[in-house]
Amino acid sequence: MKKISKYENKNVLVLGAGKSGTNAAKLLVKLGAKVLLSDSKPLDQITDKNELEKIGVDVIGGKQSVQLFKDNQFDLVVKNPGIPYDTPVVEKAKELGLPIIVEVELASEINSAELIGVTGSNGKTTTTTMISKMLNMERDNGKSHVAGNIGIPASTVTEKASKDDDVVMELSSFMLLGITELHPHIAVLTNIFSNHLDYHKTRKNYVEAKMRITMNQNSDDFFVVNFDSEEWRKLSERSKAQVVPFSRKGISQAGSYEKDGKLYFKDEYIMDANEIKIPGEQNVENALAAIAVAKIKHRSNDAIKHVLTTFGGVRHRVQYILTSDGRKVYNDSKATDIEATQMALRGFNEPVVLLAGGLDRGYKFDKLVPDLKKHVHSIVLFGETKHLLEDAAKKAGIKNIKLVDNLDEAVPFAYKFSHPGDIVLLSPANASWDQFSTFEVRGDQFIKDIEKITGKKEEQ
């Protein structure tokens, strides 16, 4: 951990008492700041309230009001990444000219390890995990750590990380909007689709947020970019870093790529694509991104191959659960958009019974129709978007379409519609927030429901 003095005796407002907020508050106190933490939950529902107050943090619960700025003088605001910038309390901070950052920015300021940042619409967590596993191979000193949007507060990692370590940080678009000096030596852009437009308002804003991952890079750094889209290739030209492409379609052979079912880095054969343990084209892309980073970091082909042939996937991301009566069950609750579900479906050659549905963000599902038609023979739909998905399923010619209220009702029907040799797949194509607090809770509930109906336990 680097010792910094910039926060000594500063008055800091932390917005949000989630993992990032509470850990930011704790770090700021260690750095000498005076901290007030505000959360919209009632005071008695803030889990870490007592612990925070013991170290000197003032904790306020209830509606986050602009009154905070009338009662206190702040030098800085650290906000939860999920709080939009157009909420009144954040608008007031901007009006007052206060710096507004997020916890990963704080974490980067104290970081002594080499930083690798990973962003993109899909594949961030899997790619982050693959990279970290590869970097932990063939290592004499230090360790590779994962942090950030993967669910581990970055400040808890960088506080302990040494100069011999690597920190592989998953960075969401929400997080990237709140950085100022965060500087990854290697930045990875897996892809960009049209996500979180309810937050960013326009796709242009979303793209600009993603591209902040490379804004502080220079010619000594590396920008690993998916070259399978003309848009992404053009975006890479904006970086001052050395661009290292990866391409599942073999569009560029200047980095990592797939050709005739084989994976290469430049002209060097690594392994066959079908040897990757987790299925799907998206995981070939994730593997290629990880290979590029591993080769920049001088890992051997044997080390890379070992990781890709043994890594069984990240929880809730096309995660294999169990096999029952010839049916293989997969949990892809992390598929919170259409593209993620498309990629999941394309990963299977077997017939699929699909469970889908969730939060209505105002879009239709026509682009999902070709994949439904090709891969899905039965579909069970739930949540706010079930009728919109029903329209897509009918256009795809699916005969078995069942609409239910919730996931608990969906699972028995999905299993009933399935046959030996089928895939039973939860891949919702929607965020979870209409019925679940997070996609993780949704995925865990799916696993419980599957275990109940099959009488078998999740295979670890």
Q: What is the pLDDT of residue 210?
A: 97
For the residues 315-337, what does the mean pLDDT come to? 93
pLDDT at 197 over 90: no
Question: Is 162 flagged in the annotation as binding?
Answer: no
pLDDT the model gives residue 442: 98
pLDDT digits (tens, 9 = 90+) for 120-169: 998 999 999 999 999 999 999 999 999 999 989 999 999 999 999 999 99
Q: What was the pLDDT predicted at 199? A: 80
CATH of segment(s) 319-454: 3.90.190.20
* Averaged pLDDT for residues 65-78: 95
Q: What are phi and psi of 286, to 5 degrees?
A: -60, -40
Helix, strand and coil content of the chain, in percent to the nearest 5, comes to 35, 20, 40
125 belongs to an annotated ligand binding site: yes
Where exactly are the structural domains of the chain?
11-101, 104-310, 319-454
What pLDDT band is residue 317 in, cutting at 50, 70 and 90? confident
pLDDT in tens, 237-273: 999 999 999 999 999 999 999 999 999 999 999 999 9
Instruction: Provide the pLDDT confidence category of residue 63 given band limits of 50, 70 and 90.
Output: confident
The proportion of the chain whose per-residue pLDDT surpasses 90, expressed as a percent, equals 91
Percentage of the chain beyond pLDDT 70 is: 100
Q: Inform me whether the pLDDT recorded for 195 exceeds 80.
A: no
Q: What is the DSSP letter of 89?
A: H
Mean pLDDT value across the chain: 96
Is position 309 annotated in a ligand binding site?
no
Please name the amino acid found at residue 124: K
Q: Are 129 and 311 in contact (CB under 8 A)?
A: yes
Report whether 121 belongs to an annotated binding site: yes
Band (pLDDT 50/70/90 cuts) for residue 312 is confident
Cβ contacts of 27-32, under 8 Å, gap ≥ 24? 27/106, 27/107, 27/110, 27/155, 27/159, 28/78, 28/106, 29/55, 29/56, 29/57, 30/159, 31/4, 31/5, 31/6, 31/7, 31/110, 32/5, 32/7, 32/8
Pair 222, 246: CB distance under 8 Å = no
Distance (Å, rounded) from C-alpha 338 to C-alpha 460?
28
Same fold, 11-101 and 319-454: no
Asked if the model's pLDDT at residue 281 lies above 90, the reply is no
Q: How confident is the model at residue 459 (pLDDT cuts 50, 70, 90)?
A: confident
Cα separation of 36 and 97, whole Å? 18
Confidence at residue 122, expressed as pLDDT on a 0 to 100 scale: 87
310 annotated ligand binder: no
Closest CA to 149 of 370, 314, 28, 366: 314
For the domain covering 104-310, report its CATH number: 3.40.1190.10
The pLDDT tens digits for 35-56 are: 999 999 999 999 999 999 999 9
Residue 13 near residue 78, CB atoms below 8 Å: yes
Residue 163, pLDDT score: 97
* pLDDT band at 193; cut points 50, 70, 90: confident
pLDDT in tens, 347-399: 898 999 999 999 999 989 999 999 999 999 999 999 999 999 999 999 999 99
Flag whether pLDDT at 413 surpasses 80: yes
pLDDT at 83 over 90: yes
Q: Which amino acid does the sequence have at 358? A: G
> In the predicted model, is pLDDT for residue 194 greater than 80?
no
CA dihedral 452, 453, 458, 459 (to 10 degrees): 150
**Third-level CATH fold of 11-101:** Rossmann fold (3.40.50)
Residue 229, amino acid: S
CA distance 295 to 223: 13
Q: Taking the model in full, what pTM does it have?
A: 0.83
Q: What pLDDT is stored for residue 448 in this prediction?
A: 98
Residue 73, classed as helix, strand or coil, is coil
Q: How confident is the model at residue 297 (pLDDT cuts 50, 70, 90)?
A: very high
What confidence score (pLDDT) does residue 201 get?
82
